[in-house]
Amino acid sequence: MKTSRPLAPAAHAKEVPATGFWARWRDRLLLQEDLNFLITNRIPRIALTRFMGWYSRLRSPWLTRLNIAVWRWFTDLDLSEAKETRFDSLQACFTRELRPGVRPIDARPDVLTSPCDAIVGACGAVQAGQLWQAKGMGYRAEDLFGQAERAAPFEGGHFVTLRLTSSMYHRFHAPADGRIEHTTYLSGDAWNVNPIALKRVQRLFCRNERAVIRLRLNTGEPLALVPVAAVLVASIRLHWLNVLLHLRWPGPTEMPSDHPVRKGEELGWFEHGSTIIVFTPPGFVLADGIATGHRLRMGEPLLRRLGG
């Protein structure tokens, strides 16, 4: 299991967006909401997701190079931080490790760090069991967790939705020192989780395949991470279970555990890109700058303990 040693906070290089005729045309196309929703959702989602799982595992360096070249036409894929830059399958590229030191971990004990590279989606307080996936589109925490009693510790606390795009680093890590106490796998659909779909599909996160990971911080508070799969996300790997969670599992599946984790320790990965929703109990607030649309990297401050 890979671990990251906590380091002092450090600035990172500013991301440079793709430019040129193709990038402008691509962005205009992807922003056509009706077309985007039709292409990414009005398709045989589960069948294509299973196909992607098979296809991404095909071991062929030349086919992989071709796939990555096509992938770069549609995304701002950057492999400059990857530990390896040559891959024999798409899966190896999707789940790539990074070079040591490129994701410093904020070591302050009152700070919960981002478990992944992401774009912040909806975030804020959990009130009367309600939270938001987009403006005017609410859902209930108990529906996401699968049981009301499992969502109850986070009433009055905070949630942060973290969206991973297909080109991002797909591994996720522990936000703080603690122990993983329980994992629930919930089977479901494979809707796209981009902002366009979140504005149109009611209770989307509660419909999709997901894992509910419940932790206990060393300071005693509960914490929850909910990785939600999406269209073309073939599986979720959780290292402490040593199993691959995917759409062929019937679910729900209960998996108790007692696994210690260190801040920054790698917990698992997605095989494409998706979403992680982080839940804290009362006593935590959003870190400075955390708001919808904010881009952040694994290891940067996400939430902080009040009074810290």
Sheet holding 266-270, edge to edge: 171-173, 266-270, 235-238, 243-246
Catalytic residue among 117, 170, 246, 272: 117
Query: Which amino acid would we find at residue 302?
Result: L
Q: Is 170 a catalytic residue?
A: no
Alpha helices in 157-203 (DSSP H): 195-198
Which residues are within 8 A (CB) of 20 and not within 5 positions of it... i.e. 6 or more apart?
Answer: none
Q: Phi, psi (5° rounding) for residue 200?
A: -120, -25
Catalytic residue among 158, 170, 173, 246: 173
Structure tokens at 82: 């990857």
* Helix/strand/coil for 287: coil
Q: Is 187 a catalytic residue?
A: no
Q: Is 239 a catalytic residue?
A: no
* Distance set, CA 70 to CA 66, 272, 287 (Å): 6, 15, 37
Query: Which stretches of the chain are assigned E, i.e. beta strand?
Result: 111-113, 118-125, 130-134, 137-140, 158-163, 171-173, 178-186, 210-217, 222-228, 235-238, 243-246, 253-261, 266-270, 275-280, 284-286, 295-296, 301-305
* Distance set, CA 62 to CA 86, 94, 233 (Å): 10, 16, 23
Query: Which amino acid would we find at residue 200?
Result: R
Cα distance between residue 175 and residue 209, in whole Å: 22
Q: Could you give the residue numbers annotated as active site?
A: 117, 173, 274
